[in-house]
Structure 1
Amino acid sequence: MTAAALADALVARDVSSVEATQAHLDRISDVDGHVHAFLHVNEKALAVAKSIDSRRAAGDDLGPLAGVPIAIKDVLCTLDMPTTSGSKILEGWVPPYDATVVQKLRQAGLVPLGKTNMDEFAMGSSTEFSAYGPTRNPWDLDRIPGGSGGGSAAAVAAHEAPLALGSDTGGSIRQPGSVTGTVGVKPTYGGVSRYGAIALASSLDQIGPVARTVLDAALVHDVIAGHDARDSTSIRTEWPSFAAAAREGLQAGTLSGLRVGVVKELGGDGFQAGVTQRFTETVALLESAGVTVVEIDAPSFASAIAAYYLILPAEASSNLAKFDSVRFGLRVTPENGGTVEDVMAATREAGFGPEVKRRIILGTYALSAGYYDAYYGKAQKVRTLVQRDFTKAFEQVDLLVSPTAPTTAFPIGERIDDPLSMYLNDLTTIPANLAGIPGMSIPMGLAPEDGLPTGVQLMAPAHEDARLYRYGAALERLLEDSWGHTLISKVPDLDSATLAAGQQSAAEEGVI
């Protein structure tokens, strides 16, 4: 069931929260040994569900999603579950507080199922850089589920959770959404509190929903949006109901008169033929629905990925300096003792993985004396140009569209030793993070050459998240009507034969 349908069933007393939660826990038990979407399953989930059922029976005023289970990316602090950010340096660490978004979920009556796998400190595009092993794509267990939030996307795609939270620094909600056939949303920067989210790049990170439908994502966004005094980057915008906007989008004729821009720089060479084909078909569907399509030239987007991979490592090297063996987390003492610096070096060597080390070194270099202006300073100037290109584009159109990712899910291990190839997975999603605008990925069909999901990305001006939900829901319905089904219903059944084949393949690759 979608989260919206499950919420209706809970209100009607057709099902209890305990039953819904138990069903998802059973599903996790059945398939997660192969998918590996979860790092930790919440032992208190059924107790929380039982309390929600009791409150409903007592006539308490509950939120629209009360009793619905949800998975939480392991980058978010939870006071009753470990929070590792996918790293050995935080193995077993249980925070003394909840992230603001987790606190809001609890207050709204959602049931946390557990913490999902991710690339270490959210650094990666495939969830292969988790210190606890890769997550697998439910569509093909030999392929990646995207990153860094592959665990959240895989959990939703594999029907282990109806909803999940993720974090998006350069596409880590939207890109996994594209390759797993799920809906992923990056809100306007500052629209959702980052308090309690372990920081990667503070000027880029944003928390957002992962779901099966645009309406489901909107219902979660309604819960987590809003100003938070504990987050200095939080904005005071009064947000409308995103769920109401999504429901408006499901009405006939919503797309008529819409102006959509196709960004020339976010397509072409390097894009998989099947992705391009599905995107071309999607644009044609929009035109048939009365949408005016305009080609947009955004020249600075060609430099966005280079700027991003200077800004992000620079901010990451600063944020990760706190993991020093002194205050919390792992501590490794050299065999012959040593100074604080020796302990710190030994701890970081043992606790950080190769991708984290790579980015710390790059970021520290970019911020060093004599190179700050040449690298970090110039990257920030490119960021300003990207923001200006978006401003010009939105003077001409209401929304921008592009493929969410240049390819479908690639085989596990294929790009693990090729950082540049891995970084190019975020080619189309990075500009929205640099500009702080909202972006959404929705499924746009299966690529004909491999039968794997593709995604279309919608981008709106800052603070216009409701516009994304309105038109995203309309496009979602248009696409599903053209297919005659929902894409998520076509996920291959993870039966014993499929799981056995995935297990054998993983063993042969030496992955497990």
Structure 2
Amino acid sequence: MTDLTELGVAAIRDGVAKGDFTAVEVADAFNANVAAAQDALNAFIVATPEAAVEAARATDAKRAAGETLGKMAGVPIGMKDLFATKGVQTTAASHILEGFKPEYESTVSQKLWDAGAGMLGKLNLDQFAMGSSNETSYFGNVISPWRRPGSNAPLAPGGSSGGSSAAIAARLCPAATGTDTGGSIRQPAAFTGITGIKPTYGRCSRWGVVAFASSLDQAGAMAHDVTDCSIMLEAMTGFDPKDSTSLDMPVPEWTANLSADLKGKKVGIPREYRVDGMPAEIEAIWQQGIAWLKDAGAEVVDVTLPHTQYALPAYYIIAPAEASSNLARYDGVRYGLRDLPDGANLQDMYAATRAAGFGAEVKRRILIGTYVLSAGFYDAYYTQAQKVRTLISHDFMGAFSEVDVLLTPTAPSAAFALGENADDPLAMYLNDVFTVPASLAGLPAMSVPAGLDAQGLPLGLQLIGKPFDEQGVLNAGLAIEQRAGFAAKPEKWW
């Protein structure tokens, strides 16, 4: 029998439906991989093997009874530990929420369970989704399954959805949820040689997702290939009256309409994404991507996004500002950690709880956010950043009046070693230089693996689409996927 853990979403779902294997066999195979890899990779905060098997039994029973199966029937997935899961610890990788078990289910996770998916466990991440390397989790670093040849140095799986990317690359799950605030689906996908898509802001409900920056946060799908991402995204999306930013639009049939034929389409190449000091390998893979899209029938057009250089500074004002507001709810009163020193009053309890519960990066961003929202600096920083955000959106709209989709690199480098950028927050923030602009504008964007660098590590290409045009992004991604023929996977050492 085929190794079931080598299969993706479509292959598992179709195999279960045909009776080639049972959903329980699939769940057991992935549960075994999760348990075997946990000590080495630390991808999961909590494993839930029983939940995966229970969902699988339900799918097998439905099939035996001749009932219609859902889009994700028989597919066990990893759930980023930012999504509330009823009765299962949900921590956002922070000590302040350790032990918190929600009494409710997030909309996105509920949609996936309704579609027949099962949960293998809650995936590790950067604390409160703040980070680009998965080094800020209270529950320890996630280790990438990839390694440089001849080196045992642990590599970053990207962040914040690093548990998701590492688990998929290591075959611990065929797919996983991610969230993307400034690149937290796309950058880890690029680092680990998988595919990840952030849909248009509002496509996926934010209800039940631990908030970082509410005007930027968006859930998305991570999997081995474009088809698997589109299947999962269809199951996750849809209007939710509980989320005021949710788009009241029907969910398109992205998977049925997938096409790698780009005849008549125009692809924009933004000149501002050629940043100083960009490695030659990144430039080369970008040029290769351009050639692939031309081969698929697309016309390539140079475009300009003049305010791109201001995207990163604007993001690192807006996101911390929203975080400082969102994270004020963690005070030790109603749930999560409570640190109550002897003789302390309420104010002392707040201070002690937050000091003990939040990690260094979270504290840094709360301080930045509180500063830029303070009376003397609000107009100088926050108001200006919002104006810049509007200009960046206008740049994109101008470009999309000429082209259908944009092609850029996903990240400015391949995966770096853990600890390499840990002492330099600015170097870490620069990892998001190519992904942040699309987040600020709320656009659909995805990363597709395109090749390997000289050290044998994955490199990704990013596609950015018009608002609500996930189809265009998926189709261009499929065209690259088919031509890149990326089949590399990490050699097993764990």
Structure 2 residue aligned with 1:366: 372
Q: TM-score, normalised by structure 1?
A: 0.93
Q: Is the 8 A contact 1:267 1:402 kept in 2?
A: no
Which segment is superposed worse, 452-461 or 258-267? 258-267
Task: Indicate if the aligned counterparts of 1:177 and 1:441 stay in contact, CA closer than 8 A.
Answer: yes
Q: Secondary structure at the match of 1:299?
A: coil
Instruction: Check if 1:188 corresponds to 2:236.
Output: no
Point out the more displaced range, 136-145 or 420-429: 136-145
Q: Tell me, yes or no, if the aligned pair for 1:226 and 1:236 is still in contact at 8 Å.
A: yes
Q: What is the one-letter code of the residue matched to 2:188?
A: P
Is it true that 1:428 corresponds to 2:434 in the alignment? yes
- The amino acid that maps onto 1:353 is G
- Equivalent of residue 394 in structure 1, options 394, 400, 411: 400
Q: Does 1:228 align with 2:226?
A: no
Partner deviation per Cα, 1:48-74 (whole Å, 9 max, x = no partner): 211221121111211132011110000
Deviation, structure 1 residue 20: 0.2
Instruction: Name the CA distance, whole Å, in 1 between partners of 2:340 and 2:225.
Output: 49
Match of 1:299 in 2: 306
Q: Secondary structure at the match of 1:409?
A: coil
Q: 1:118 aligns with which of 122, 125, 146?
A: 125
1:34-45 map, 5 Å = 34-42=40-48, 43-45=50-52
1:477 aligns with 2:475: no
2:217 pairs with one of 176, 188, 205: 205
What's the CA shift for 1:271?
2.0
Other-structure match for 2:171 = 159
Q: Distance in 2 between matches of 1:186 and 1:349?
A: 33
Whole-angstrom CA distance in 2 between matches of 1:276 and 1:359: 32
Summarize the alignment of residues 2-21 of structure 1 with structure 2, pairs less than 5 Å apart: 2-21=8-27
AA of the residue aligned to 2:14? D
Structure 1, unaligned runs of 5 or more: 481-485, 500-512
Deviation by residue 1:179-218 (Cα, 9 ceiling, x = unmatched): 0001010000001101000000000000000000100000
User: Matches of 1:265 and 1:142 in 2, distance apart?
Assistant: 32
Q: Deviations over 1:71-103 (max 9, x none)?
A: 000000000311000100001111010000111
2:252 matches 1:240:
yes
3-state SS of 2:256 partner: helix
1:168 aligns with 2:188: no
Q: Is the CA contact (8 Å cut-off) linking 1:270 and 1:406 kept in structure 2?
A: no
Match 1:29 to one of 28, 35, 47: 35
Deviation of residue 2 (structure 1)? 1.6
**1:347 and 2:345 are equivalent in the alignment:** no
User: Between the two proteins, what is the percent identity of the paired residues?
Assistant: 48
Is 1:56 the counterpart of 2:66? The answer is no
Cα drift, residue 290 of structure 1: 2.9
| Alpha carbons 1:237, 1:463 under 8 Å: kept | no
- Which residue matches 1:414? 420
Query: Alpha-carbon deviations, 1:242-266, whole Å to 9, x = none?
Result: 11122x33xxxx0223211111111
Alignment correspondent of 1:218: 230
Give the Cα–Cα distance (whole angstroms) in 2 for the partners of residues 278 and 137 of structure 1.
22
State the Cα RMSD in Å. 1.1
Residue matched to 2:86: 79
Size of the aligned set, in residue pairs, is 482
Structure-2 separation of matches of 1:412 and 1:245:
40
- Residue deviations 1:439-486 (CA, integer Å, cap 9, x gap): 0100010012x2100100001111111111122212211221xxxxx3
Is the deviation greater in 95-104 or in 54-63?
54-63
CA distance in 2, matches of 1:492, 1:470: 27
1:264 alignment partner in structure 2: 271
Q: Does structure 2 conserve the Cα–Cα contact (< 8 Å) formed by 1:200 and 1:319? A: yes
2: distance between equivalents of 1:270 and 1:63? 48
Moved more, 306-315 or 22-31: 22-31
Q: Distance in 1 between matches of 2:398 and 2:51?
A: 50
Greater CA deviation, 260-269 or 282-291? 282-291
In 1, Cα distance between equivalents of 2:257 and 2:338: 49
Q: Which moved more, 1:65-74 or 1:132-141?
A: 132-141
| Deviations 1:368-395, CA, capped at 9 Å, x for gaps | 0121111000000000000000000001
Partner of 2:467: 462
- Structure 2 portions without partners, runs of 5+: 1-6, 148-152
C-alpha contact (below 8 Å) 2:292/2:479 kept by paired residues: no
Return structure 1 stretches of 4+ with deviation > 3 angstroms. none
| Structure 1 SS opposite 2:93 | coil
Structure 1 residue 295, shift from structure 2 partner: 1.4
Q: CA deviation at 1:316?
A: 0.1
1:357 aligns with 2:368: no
Q: Which amino acid aligns with 2:276?
A: D
Which shifted more, 288-297 or 181-190?
A: 288-297
Compare 174-183 and 277-286 and name the one that shifted more.
Answer: 277-286
